[in-house]
Structures are given as C-alpha cells and as structure tokens.
Structure 1
C-alpha cells in the first residue's frame, strides 16, 4: 500500500462517491480509479462495490477503513512533527562544554538562542575536556566545546576564540596589586590545580615544563569554582582561562595578567566528522559562533 492509494480509498469510502473524491483530491476519475484498482490488486480483493448509481464498501473495505484513517493520521502527524523540527518550531539538542565555558559564556549564547527558538529544549553537560570528547564520540551529544585537541581523529573543530590564561591570587595578597605576574611569582606560592586528566592542567604543565620543570601542586580539585574558593581563602594561587575572570572575582579571588610564558589556547566547537547534525544543533552552533566567536 502507498499513501496515495490509501488517501484515494479513504476519500471514496468517506463520501461513497468517486466524483466527490476526485474533487477532494484534485484527481481525474481515471487516476482515482487506477489508484483504487492497484490497491485492491495488491491486497488481493475488492474493497468497494461500484455500480452506475452507488458505491459501497465490501466487508474487507469496512475492515480497512478505520486502519486507513489511523495510518494516514499517523503519517500526517509525522510529517507535521518533522516539519516543525526542520523549521525549529520544536526540537531538542544536547551540548557538552568545559565547566569554565558552560558557567561563563554559554549562558549568553543560550539566551540569544532561546530568544530565536523558544520551543527548542537544550540540555547542557558541563564536564571536563576529555569527557566532552567522549560524549561526542559516543553520540550522547551533538556538539561540544573544548580546548583545541592535539589530534582531531574523526572530529571537526571550529574555533570560537583564543583564550589567554590569567593568574588567580588571594585578594589580600601583595600579588593582587600587580598589573602582570610572571610564572616565577606564582611558583613560589602553594599552587592549586584541577585534577588530572583535566586538559587545563595538562596545558599548564606542558607550558612551564621547559623553563620551570614540574608544577608544584599543593591542592587539587575537579571544579574551577572550588579552585577559586580555595584561592580566595588564601590557600594558594592558580591559573585559569581568562573567561573565568568574573567567576573567580565573584568568589573573592583576584585575576592578574600572566606572562613568561604566556599560556593561551583556542577554544572551539567539536562534532563528529562526516556526520549530519539536527537542525536544532546546527542552529545552536551558528548562535555560538555569532555570540562568542572572535571575542
């Protein structure tokens, strides 16, 4: 059975008139008759009894009538649902992002996205860099925001901006009055770092290894917010992405420009290479590029 054949049968069965069915479907009578005949042949028997004056349903036609109504209603509902998804009237999208990005820049982009697409549901997973990549590879999310990976290996990376890392020091520390700090200033203090396998931790260790050797970590945490609170309490110093500046200062710490060496890394969108994403995910990706790109 085809949808066209079922529509032809239903139009005749409801009106019991080929003429009215032709008008309703905008078909010629030969085309309508052919659709009914082909349907009957495919099913193996007559569905309608036709005379020069009347049309009636056979017992088999009576059986098919409620089924045809249900199938065509489901078909029409499916068409409309997909149309709403493609036109972004409805939909759902999941994104995974670094906690530093999820807590600072992502809400700005989501506000702009929501203003354009109020009926698209967005799920945000704020997880460490490595988990973002794993969630993309496992098809648990369509989009991810990460520090640029060393190897893409089946992923595509769309740069959003270049993040220059800053020092985080206690507000009452003499270091807080400086306009710029060097790593040598920080490494004389207890250092607070994200726990491995954090990409931020790895980047910091790699950046100072040649000049200063091992990163002397006194405290570790999984969350940047906890790092900020520990710094604010005077337990030590840290280095975080610059996009965390407002978050760190809200926690009571101070952020200072950092040099020698300068630590910077591109942040961008990742998705699986060679695969299509939903219309909702593409719209969110476009809004992220528009809202955050090039900051």
Structure 2
C-alpha cells in the first residue's frame, strides 16, 4: 500500500465509480482496478461493493477512506510547512461545493484567491449539499459549500450569500407575467434540466417527484447556460439559481418567476468540522471566502 493507492481509493470512494476514480487519478481503468484488487488482497477484506451503478465502499472501505483522507491531509500540511523553507507557501486544497456554488458563485472568488497565492492548487468537486455535509462529518472532506437546506448538525458553518432558486420561462410564455408560484403548479409545463450527475438537478428532481411520482424532464443538457438558452428558444421551462437567471436574462430576455417553496429559498454556507482545526492553507481559503462575502447575509452560526 502506498500514497498512490490511498489517493486512488479516495477518488473511487468519492466518485462512486472505479472508472471515474481512475480518471481523477490519471490512470487507465485496468491499472486502477488492479491496484484496488491488490489493496483488497493486502488488507484481507473487500473494500468495495460493485454493481451496475458503480462501486460503493464497504464498512472496511469507509474506514480506509477516512484514514486515507487523514494521512493525505497530514502529508499536505507537511509539504506546506516545508515549502515555506524553500520556495514559499505551497499547498493543494480540496473544496466540495454544490452546483450553484461550483458553477456560479465560487469561480470569481477562487480566481482571486489563487492569484494571491501562486503556490496553491485547488481541486473543487461538485456534490449534493447533503453529501457535502456527510463527508465533512466523516472527515472525508475539510471544507465545503452546501446550502442551508442540508442537515449541518455537528459542523461549524458561516453563511456566504443568498442563493434562491427561481423558475425561468421564455418572455412569451404563459407564465411570464406570473408574480410567483409553487413548483407543483409549474409541473404541467415541459421542463428542461441538467444531467443526473448534477447536485442541483438531483435536488429539483426529488422535489418534483414528491409532487408528481414518475415525473421527468423533456430534455437534459450539460450546463446551466445551455439550459437557459434552450428555455429562451421556447423548448420548456427550468429551475435555476437566481444568479444564473439574472445573468442569462440580460442576453436572452428570459423571465424569472420566484418559487414559493421553502426549499427554494436557500443560503449558501461555508462548512467545516471545525474552522479552528483546519490546516493553515485551508484556513486561509475559509477566511478569504468569509471576508469576501461578509455582509451578504446574517452573521455566522454553528
């Protein structure tokens, strides 16, 4: 067992797939599969349950993933401490974020942070808010940006900025003049959305199917921008973050309809098991994000 094995297994556990884990580790599928089998042989126990949906860690695999995260985090802290004696601060940061944060709110902030810290690299993973909170509690991640709709019990949190979801419709659509409505009332119209891997779309889909079992999309696309363009062309309606709707409306004339559902009135949170226990580089990132968004929402909470 070596550090390459630990990183690979952590990637597989996070992605839920040996194929995706191999891609993140820059390995061929055959090489990654062989390394995982060798790990299982060396440890004397199955680490993954493999099925048609991918690969999920067994209880032993969860234990390995938890300790692998700790070992790699400690190694990162060691590299950062030693780099200060040579070329200046260096660190590799890992941040988990929901769809809205990863695609809309965080990119300009992270670009500023990385420009101010040229020795830092960053791996941002898009995940559902509930999965982010679970990973933080299990110490599989150090820092995350979920919405306040997730159960963040046991985590230290600071609010970053409001992130409400809205319905977008073409300017000539029958709903274009509606002041506000519930998702349930909108489901009679054809919906567009992102692919199933999207954290945002998984949440919207779950809410829609609570209202109408068996409900599905007319079309799925690869980005919020593509969804917005197709809505503007009259292919259907969609639920997107308000920030996306405002940006796309300027170019395409989309109309925004606020949703009355409680789950749509979201706030993005910065979350960690403990801000005080973060490695120095991760703590700098956390402080930067909190300072950069200060005043956007109410004071921090646990």
2:277 corresponds to which residue? 276
Q: Quick one: distance in 2 between partners of 1:196 and 1:89?
A: 35
Matches within 5 A, 1:81-92: 81-82=81-82, 84=84, 89-92=89-92
Q: How far 1:199 moved relative to its partner?
A: 5.8
1:123/1:188 CA distance change after superposition, 3 Å: same
Q: Using structure 1 for the length normalisation, give the TM-score.
A: 0.56
1:185/1:206 CA distance change after superposition, 3 Å: closer
SS of equivalent residue, structure 1 residue 236: coil
Q: Quick one: distance in 2 between partners of 1:79 and 1:223?
A: 37
1:264 corresponds to which residue? 265
Q: For structure 2, which runs of at least 5 residues remain unmatched after alignment? A: 1-77, 297-302
Q: Quick one: distance in 1 between partners of 2:104 and 2:275?
A: 30
Q: Using structure 2 for the length normalisation, give the TM-score.
A: 0.55
Matches within 5 A, 1:88-237: 89-133=89-133, 135-137=135-137, 139-176=139-176, 178=177, 180-183=179-182, 186-193=186-193, 195=196, 198=199, 202=203, 213-214=211-212, 216-219=215-218, 221=220, 224-225=223-224, 227-237=227-237
SS of equivalent residue, structure 1 residue 123: strand
Q: Quick one: distance in 2 between partners of 1:151 and 1:258?
A: 24
Q: How far 1:188 moved relative to its partner?
A: 3.5
Q: How far 1:266 moved relative to its partner?
A: 1.8
The structure with the greater share of residues assigned to strand is 1
SS of equivalent residue, structure 1 residue 105: helix
Q: For structure 1, which runs of at least 5 residues remain unmatched after alignment? A: 1-77
Contact 1:88/1:279, CA 8 A, preserved across alignment: no
1:130/1:117 CA distance change after superposition, 3 Å: same
Q: How far 1:220 moved relative to its partner?
A: 6.3
Q: CA RMSD in A?
A: 3.9
Contact 2:96/2:141, CA 8 A, preserved across alignment: yes
1:200/1:139 CA distance change after superposition, 3 Å: same
Can you list the C-alpha shifts for 1:139-195, whole angstroms capped at 9, x where unaligned? 55421111125432443222112222221113553544x373423763341233554
1:273/1:200 CA distance change after superposition, 3 Å: farther
SS of equivalent residue, structure 2 residue 231: helix
Contact 1:208/1:261, CA 8 A, preserved across alignment: no
1:69 corresponds to which residue? none
SS of equivalent residue, structure 1 residue 124: strand
Q: How far 1:268 moved relative to its partner?
A: 0.6
Q: How far 1:250 moved relative to its partner?
A: 7.8
**Which stretch shifts more, 98-107 or 242-251?**
242-251
Q: Quick one: distance in 1 between partners of 2:80 and 2:91?
A: 13
Contact 2:98/2:200, CA 8 A, preserved across alignment: no
1:79/1:157 CA distance change after superposition, 3 Å: closer
2:244 corresponds to which residue? 244
Q: Which has the larger radius of gyration?
A: 1
